[in-house]
């Protein structure tokens, strides 16, 4: 691998790791909202906002890294 390929691989690894980290943060914030830890718009609206944030966070944590890895997969050499 060339140094440019190494740099690109590091950037992509960082992007996938950051996506997972942000997904986990979204899930935690969503659960705090659902539990009434802090108020945005008042209950029950906060509960629905929390559910939406948890779903987005779960998608970011579980699905987006797989999509990015598939998109960035190296071409198969025969």
- Model pLDDT for residues 26-74, shown as the tens digit of each residue: 999 999 999 998 888 888 899 999 999 999 999 999 999 999 999 988 7
In a domain, 25, yes or no: yes
Q: How many domains would you assign to the chain?
A: 1
In a domain, 64, yes or no: yes
- CA distances in angstroms from 44 to 13, 41, 47, 51, 76, listed in the order given: 39, 8, 5, 11, 51
In a domain, 60, yes or no: yes
**DSSP code for 63:** T
In a domain, 47, yes or no: yes
In a domain, 4, yes or no: no
In a domain, 46, yes or no: yes
Distance between CA atoms of 78 and 66, rounded to whole angstroms? 24
In a domain, 52, yes or no: yes
Supply the range of the domain harboring residue 53. 17-71
In a domain, 11, yes or no: no
Full-model pTM: 0.83
């Amino acid at each position: 691998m060339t140094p440019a390929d190494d740099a690109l691989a590091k950037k992509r690894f960082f992007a996938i790791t950051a996506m997972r980290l942000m997904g986990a943060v979204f899930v935690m914030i969503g659960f705090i909202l659902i539990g009434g830890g802090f108020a945005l718009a008042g209950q029950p609206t906060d509960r629905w906002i929390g559910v939406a944030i948890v779903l987005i966070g779960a998608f970011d944590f579980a699905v987006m890294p797989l999509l990015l890895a598939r998109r960035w997969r190296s071409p198969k050499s025969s």
